[in-house]
Amino acid sequence: MVDNNTIMESGKCIECGANEIDGLSCYEMFQFPLVWEHNDPKLYDLHFWLVSCYMIQHPSNYTKDGYNHLINLFTEAYDNNWDTGYILRKNRELVSKVGKITNPLPNHKRKRIYRRWSMTIEDLYSGGEKNAINNINKWKETIRKDFKK
Protein backbone atom coordinates (compact mmCIF):
# COMPACT_ATOMS: atom_id res chain seq x y z
CA MET A 1 0.00 0.00 0.00
CA VAL A 2 1.35 3.42 -0.95
CA ASP A 3 -0.21 6.73 0.08
CA ASN A 4 1.28 10.13 -0.59
CA ASN A 5 3.63 9.93 2.38
CA THR A 6 4.36 6.35 3.39
CA ILE A 7 4.92 2.94 1.92
CA MET A 8 3.39 -0.01 3.72
CA GLU A 9 4.62 -3.49 2.87
CA SER A 10 3.05 -6.60 4.36
CA GLY A 11 1.05 -4.35 6.68
CA LYS A 12 4.07 -2.42 8.06
CA CYS A 13 5.54 1.00 7.33
CA ILE A 14 8.90 0.38 5.71
CA GLU A 15 10.35 3.40 7.54
CA CYS A 16 8.97 3.46 11.11
CA GLY A 17 7.70 -0.12 11.35
CA ALA A 18 4.17 0.81 12.47
CA ASN A 19 1.62 -1.89 11.78
CA GLU A 20 -1.39 -1.12 9.64
CA ILE A 21 -4.49 -0.86 11.83
CA ASP A 22 -8.07 -0.70 10.54
CA GLY A 23 -6.64 -0.70 7.02
CA LEU A 24 -4.82 2.59 7.73
CA SER A 25 -1.20 3.41 6.90
CA CYS A 26 0.90 5.13 9.54
CA TYR A 27 0.34 8.45 7.75
CA GLU A 28 -3.43 7.92 7.79
CA MET A 29 -3.30 7.07 11.52
CA PHE A 30 -1.33 10.29 12.06
CA GLN A 31 -4.31 12.29 10.75
CA PHE A 32 -6.49 11.21 13.70
CA PRO A 33 -4.58 12.98 16.50
CA LEU A 34 -4.34 16.04 14.26
CA VAL A 35 -8.15 16.13 14.35
CA TRP A 36 -8.34 15.23 18.05
CA GLU A 37 -6.25 18.28 18.95
CA HIS A 38 -9.06 20.53 17.75
CA ASN A 39 -11.30 19.09 20.47
CA ASP A 40 -8.88 19.73 23.34
CA PRO A 41 -6.64 22.80 23.82
CA LYS A 42 -4.36 20.80 26.16
CA LEU A 43 -3.82 18.25 23.43
CA TYR A 44 -3.25 21.03 20.89
CA ASP A 45 -0.50 22.39 23.17
CA LEU A 46 1.41 19.19 22.31
CA HIS A 47 1.18 19.75 18.54
CA PHE A 48 4.92 20.32 18.15
CA TRP A 49 5.66 17.05 19.93
CA LEU A 50 3.06 15.08 17.97
CA VAL A 51 4.34 16.28 14.62
CA SER A 52 8.02 16.01 15.59
CA CYS A 53 7.66 12.46 16.87
CA TYR A 54 5.97 11.35 13.67
CA MET A 55 8.37 13.20 11.38
CA ILE A 56 11.49 12.03 13.20
CA GLN A 57 10.40 8.49 12.40
CA HIS A 58 9.99 9.37 8.70
CA PRO A 59 13.25 11.05 7.70
CA SER A 60 12.57 10.53 3.99
CA ASN A 61 10.32 13.60 4.18
CA TYR A 62 13.36 15.81 4.79
CA THR A 63 16.64 16.89 3.31
CA LYS A 64 19.67 15.89 5.39
CA ASP A 65 19.94 19.43 6.79
CA GLY A 66 16.20 19.61 7.43
CA TYR A 67 16.22 16.33 9.34
CA ASN A 68 19.26 17.36 11.40
CA HIS A 69 17.46 20.60 12.24
CA LEU A 70 14.42 18.67 13.44
CA ILE A 71 16.53 16.33 15.58
CA ASN A 72 18.47 19.22 17.11
CA LEU A 73 15.34 21.25 17.84
CA PHE A 74 13.55 18.24 19.35
CA THR A 75 16.55 17.33 21.50
CA GLU A 76 17.15 20.88 22.73
CA ALA A 77 13.45 21.44 23.45
CA TYR A 78 13.16 18.14 25.30
CA ASP A 79 16.40 18.39 27.27
CA ASN A 80 15.74 22.01 28.28
CA ASN A 81 11.99 21.64 28.83
CA TRP A 82 11.18 24.52 26.49
CA ASP A 83 7.60 25.75 26.35
CA THR A 84 5.76 25.67 23.04
CA GLY A 85 6.06 29.40 22.35
CA TYR A 86 9.82 29.28 22.75
CA ILE A 87 10.11 26.17 20.58
CA LEU A 88 8.20 27.85 17.77
CA ARG A 89 10.28 31.06 17.99
CA LYS A 90 13.50 29.06 18.01
CA ASN A 91 12.28 27.00 15.05
CA ARG A 92 11.53 30.13 12.98
CA GLU A 93 14.94 31.53 13.83
CA LEU A 94 16.81 28.34 12.92
CA VAL A 95 14.82 27.39 9.81
CA SER A 96 15.98 30.53 8.05
CA LYS A 97 19.57 29.28 8.43
CA VAL A 98 18.91 25.72 7.22
CA GLY A 99 17.71 26.33 3.68
CA LYS A 100 15.64 23.60 2.04
CA ILE A 101 13.98 21.45 4.71
CA THR A 102 11.55 19.17 2.90
CA ASN A 103 12.69 16.49 0.50
CA PRO A 104 12.12 17.75 -3.05
CA LEU A 105 12.06 14.23 -4.52
CA PRO A 106 8.69 12.75 -5.42
CA ASN A 107 7.46 10.32 -2.76
CA HIS A 108 8.11 7.18 -4.82
CA LYS A 109 11.76 8.17 -5.43
CA ARG A 110 12.72 8.83 -1.81
CA LYS A 111 15.16 6.53 -0.06
CA ARG A 112 13.61 4.96 3.02
CA ILE A 113 15.61 3.22 5.71
CA TYR A 114 13.89 1.14 8.35
CA ARG A 115 14.67 1.91 11.98
CA ARG A 116 13.20 0.12 14.96
CA TRP A 117 11.41 2.48 17.36
CA SER A 118 10.08 1.71 20.84
CA MET A 119 6.81 3.51 20.05
CA THR A 120 5.15 4.71 16.82
CA ILE A 121 1.96 6.40 15.67
CA GLU A 122 0.39 2.94 15.84
CA ASP A 123 0.54 3.13 19.66
CA LEU A 124 -0.93 6.62 19.76
CA TYR A 125 -3.74 5.74 17.35
CA SER A 126 -4.64 2.49 19.12
CA GLY A 127 -4.66 4.28 22.49
CA GLY A 128 -7.43 6.57 21.25
CA GLU A 129 -8.30 10.18 21.81
CA LYS A 130 -8.85 9.90 25.57
CA ASN A 131 -5.26 8.70 26.05
CA ALA A 132 -3.65 10.97 23.47
CA ILE A 133 -2.06 13.48 25.87
CA ASN A 134 -0.40 10.77 27.95
CA ASN A 135 0.64 8.85 24.86
CA ILE A 136 2.20 11.87 23.13
CA ASN A 137 4.20 12.60 26.27
CA LYS A 138 5.25 8.95 26.41
CA TRP A 139 6.11 9.00 22.69
CA LYS A 140 8.43 11.98 23.01
CA GLU A 141 10.14 10.35 26.01
CA THR A 142 10.70 7.09 24.12
CA ILE A 143 12.05 8.90 21.06
CA ARG A 144 14.49 10.83 23.23
CA LYS A 145 15.61 7.55 24.86
CA ASP A 146 15.90 5.90 21.43
CA PHE A 147 18.32 8.65 20.35
CA LYS A 148 20.50 8.07 23.39
CA LYS A 149 20.95 4.38 22.50
- For the stretch 35-72, pLDDT in tens is 999 999 999 999 999 999 999 999 999 989 899 999 99
pLDDT band for position 108 (cuts 50, 70, 90): confident
Question: How confident is the model at residue 4, as a pLDDT?
Answer: 59
The mean per-residue pLDDT over the stretch 134-140 comes to 98
34, part of any domain: yes
40, part of any domain: yes
Report the percentage of the chain scoring pLDDT > 70.
Answer: 97
Of 115, 119, 114, the C-alpha closest to 141 is 119
Question: How confident is the model at residue 149, as a pLDDT?
Answer: 57
Q: What's the distance, CA 4 to chain centroid?
A: 16
Answer with the residue of higher pLDDT: 147 or 115.
Answer: 115
Question: How far, CA to CA in Å, does 3 sit from each of 28, 47, 72, 110, 131?
Answer: 8, 23, 28, 13, 27
122, part of any domain: yes
Q: Which domain holds residue 42?
A: 8-148
| pTM for this predicted structure | 0.91
Instruction: Please tell me the distance from the alpha carbon of residue 54 to that of residue 65, in angstroms, as a whole number.
Output: 18
Residue 29 parent element (H or E): helix 26-36
3, part of any domain: no
Q: Tell me the pLDDT of the chain averaged across its residues.
A: 91
Establish how many alpha carbons lie within 13 A of residue 77's alpha carbon, considering only the half-sphere containing its beta carbon: 23
Please count the other Cβ atoms lying within 10 Å of the Cβ belonging to residue 60: 18
Count of domains forming the chain = 1
49, part of any domain: yes
50, part of any domain: yes
Please count the other Cβ atoms lying within 10 Å of the Cβ belonging to residue 56: 23
The mean per-residue pLDDT over the stretch 122-133 comes to 97
143, part of any domain: yes
52, part of any domain: yes
